[in-house]
Structure 1
Amino acid sequence: MPRRGHHDRNAAVRLGTLVGGLALVTACGGGEDDRARTPRPSKSSAVPTAGIVAPPRIEVIAGLAGCEAEIRIEADELREGLCHSQQADYRITTFPAEKYKEAWLDAASVYGGTYLVGPRWVVSTKAEHLEQARNKLGGTIRQLRGTS
């Protein structure tokens, strides 16, 4: 049976990795503007237009978006890659379980932004490219309201 202190420390390290990855994502784009905001619930677009939703593999999502991903983060809680196509730049984050994706989105809500969200994955790109990405990948466009 693991010692409680050891488990708590590992959980703190994993959460730190998750939040650090989020900070990297928001520092490189995906956020909105710098105006102060009060926290609000996220908004989601209605129904995805793609008939098939991309699986949670960065390489597959990148291929469907028309580019090849460069993996930037490999962690137990997430993988993150950058992908540059002729139409747009994408930051693709995948998760081994829905709970990690939801924790990431909860943390991202502090910063705000609009994201394309699928089962165990999140894609960020400029807002004007989100609908086109949704047509290729499926998923739902989610608007997160930030506090900064």
Structure 2
Amino acid sequence: MTRLLLGASAVLALAGCGAGAETRAVPPTATGSLESLAAEVRCKPDMQTDADTIRQAICTNTDGKFILATFSTDRGQREWINTAEDYGGFYLVGRKWVAVGDNGTVTALRGTLGGDVEIGANHSAHSAHSGHGG
């Protein structure tokens, strides 16, 4: 029975890991204010938006440059993500917060903040069709 549980744990730990992905455990998803999340990943937030519904800052740390945003409601967060994902990119999503950056940065942040990775739309195929003359 112990072997079965260990095997199941190993499968669960590796499920969702793609080629080249780190296999270290993902911590519980962080919670808190924009400032507390920024402190956890060792960045000083450069505030861009400070409103009742969303707070958004640019952050830079040893993992790279990224946007960190917190939301007053789950619905507001989901609407923001749904719109932003149309532009592509990598999104680390927690409860009422999101970090946006390149794949390497988001993967590194996940090792500290936990959360789920979402990938935006890939528009690279459209670049071959740009420049049509008229």
TM score, norm. by length of structure 2? 0.68
Can you give the 5+ residue segments of structure 2 that lack an aligned partner in the other structure? 1-14, 18-23, 127-134
Can you give the 5+ residue segments of structure 1 that lack an aligned partner in the other structure? 1-44
| Alignment partners' CA distance in 2, 1:131 and 1:91 | 14
Answer yes or no: is the 8 Å Cα contact 1:110–1:145 preserved in 2.
yes
Matched residue, 2:119: 143
Match of 2:84 among 108, 117, 132: 108
Q: How does 1:18-33 map to 2 (within 5 A)?
A: none
How many aligned residue pairs are there? 104
Deviations 1:54-105 (A, max 9, x none): 2141111111111111211012220001112133112101000100000101
Match of 1:52 among 28, 52, 56: 28
Structure 1 residues 109, 67: CA separation in 2 closer, same or farther (over 3 Å shift)? closer
| Alignment partners' CA distance in 2, 1:49 and 1:141 | 14
Coordinate RMSD, CA, aligned: 2.3
1:117: how far off? 0.6
Structure 1 residues 103, 53: CA separation in 2 closer, same or farther (over 3 Å shift)? same
TM score, norm. by length of structure 1? 0.62
Structure number with greater CO (CA < 8 Å, separation at least 6) is 1
Name the SS for the 2:43 alignment partner.
coil
Runs of 4+ aligned structure 1 residues displaced above 2 Å come to 45-52
Structure whose alpha-carbon radius of gyration is higher: 2
